[in-house]
Amino acid sequence: MSNKFNVGWNLENTYMSLPNIMFSAINVNPVGNPQLVKLNKELATSLGLNSNALESKQGVEQLAGNTIIEGGIPIAQAYAGHQFGHFTMLGDGRALLLGEHISPSGELFDVQLKGSGRTPYSRGGDGRAGLGPMLREYIISEAMHALGIPTTRSLTVITTGEDIMRETVQRGAVMTRIAASHLRVGTFQFAAKWGTHEELQALADYAIERHYPILMNKENRYLLFLQEVITRQAALIAKWQLVGFIHGVMNTDNMTISGETIDYGPCAFMDTYNPNTVFSSIDIQGRYAYENQPNIAGWNLARLAESLLPLIHEDQDEAVKQAQEAMTAYPKIYETHWLTGMGNKLGIFNIEEGDISLIDNLLQLMEQYGADYTNTFRLLTLGKIEEIDLYGKDNFDQWHEKWQKRLEEQDVSKDFIQQLMQKSNPIVIPRNHRVEEALEAAVEKEDYSVFENLLKVISNPYDYSSDYIDYTTLPPDTSGPYKTFCGT
């Protein structure tokens, strides 16, 4: 390999140390004419990779799945999952793991190709992906990263030169996803259901050593492992709620052990505040509505706890008792993160009991009058009360007066309060109509300028010095509610 083509990959294949039941070896599925449409240069740099080499013909061939990265061994991971409450066998049906890249800081990151073709887990699918859904994942995951929310990220999006058939004919694409790992609650469900005790233990030890190494030599490490995952997920879901993010498919196979957000299918950000908001076209019953996300996360974590019972204690009753005690911490941890975050959004740095009603009253007013979630907090931050949808409405004046009085009780400066609110309230989110606008231009017209402009804006969501006013406006009224689709 020439010096000119030195990407900087430093791959290990640690997942292959697990029992064979946990994965399947995969042959690459070449595509006809791969073309790079987006490289995340900031992410590449943080991983110690050479952007010029990634953009070269050889680099694109590798990340399209036509050739294998040096040191990479393609595998598809096995896992199960409760999908809308129904348990089923799953696995990587359109993705392959090339290996784990060691970054310059010594961190380990999964390198996965999504849309790379059929695997033993494809269940009749073609294993491919469309350009629109891959660009959507790129946009939303980068927005989440900029918002300070743990997330997988996209390194590249590459068109394949081939069409795929969904509801309509779509341009094919492959995305490179970078993750702390792709270990899921569903991975443990799979091992608990179809693996031996030893195979389940091997998986748990691998997850602990990778994500919670400080626990490795603890006698009760599996219970402590459960507690750590509960803690991370409680913090993650609180962050979702605080910015109005709705995942759309909170199946157990879409909940990571690392605490990262994963799988950006029918996800979207809420505009007008409504706790019942659902965007996903397949979520007919509203199982994964905005207000249900904290409880669903708890339900998913209970499925992880069930999977770990044989490891927590050899006595079933004692294992159940310890797992249940661990689970009781989830709502308390979530509530603490959410209340602290909501307090920060209102400039309150030390939550007191009376603040809960102050928060609830504001949310009730927002729901009653259909106020925009992000813009309400943005305008409160800026002190532009007259521009808020609630201005002049019944009870808002009283609420505002109580809020101002509460802020005055704090022994801090107005500048401190302002800075706290600015760090807690994004001025922009990837509004649904803006995302669709960018995807339509890219997919239908091969015009990526709208996509690039949107990325630039959402990369600085807390920059109050910027002039992003055009990106804060709501879409014009349409004939029906906004719907998103999985794209699978």
Query: What's the pLDDT at 487?
Result: 52
Query: What's the pLDDT at 482?
Result: 59
- pTM of the predicted model, to two decimals? 0.95
253 is catalytic: yes
Quote the CA–CA distance of 173 and 55 in Å, as a whole number. 16
Query: What's the pLDDT at 440?
Result: 96
Quote the CA–CA distance of 461 and 36 in Å, as a whole number. 27
Sorted by where each begins, the domain ranges of the chain are: 11-179, 183-427+472-488, 432-471
Query: What's the pLDDT at 105?
Result: 95
SS3 state at 476: coil
**Phi-psi region at 169: left, alpha or beta (left = phi > 0; alpha = psi -120 to 50):** beta
- Residue 219's alpha-carbon distances to 191, 222, 223, 479, in angstroms, are 22, 8, 9, 59
Show the CA angle centred on residue 127, arms to residues 121 and 131, nearest 5°. 145
| Helix runs in 370-458, H state only | 373-382, 396-408, 414-424, 432-445, 449-458
Phi, psi of 23 (to 5 degrees): -160, 170
For the chain of 488 residues, list the mean pLDDT of each consecutive stretch of 10.
74 98 94 97 98 96 95 97 93 97 97 96 92 97 98 98 89 97 98 98 98 96 98 98 96 98 94 92 86 98 98 98 98 98 97 95 97 97 96 94 97 96 98 95 97 97 92 74 55
Query: What's the pLDDT at 401?
Result: 96
Residue 220 DSSP label: T
Quote the CA–CA distance of 54 and 70 in Å, as a whole number. 13
User: Exactly one of 110, 253, 372, 389 is catalytic; which is it?
Assistant: 253
197-211 and 221-243 are packed helices; what angle lies between their axes, rounded to 10 degrees? 60
Compute how many other C-beta atoms are within 10 angstroms of the C-beta atom of residue 482: 15
Query: What's the pLDDT at 4?
Result: 61
Residue 136 DSSP label: H
Query: What's the pLDDT at 119?
Result: 96
- Residue 21's alpha-carbon distances to 10, 301, 380, in angstroms, are 26, 23, 54
Compute how many other C-beta atoms are within 10 angstroms of the C-beta atom of residue 317: 8
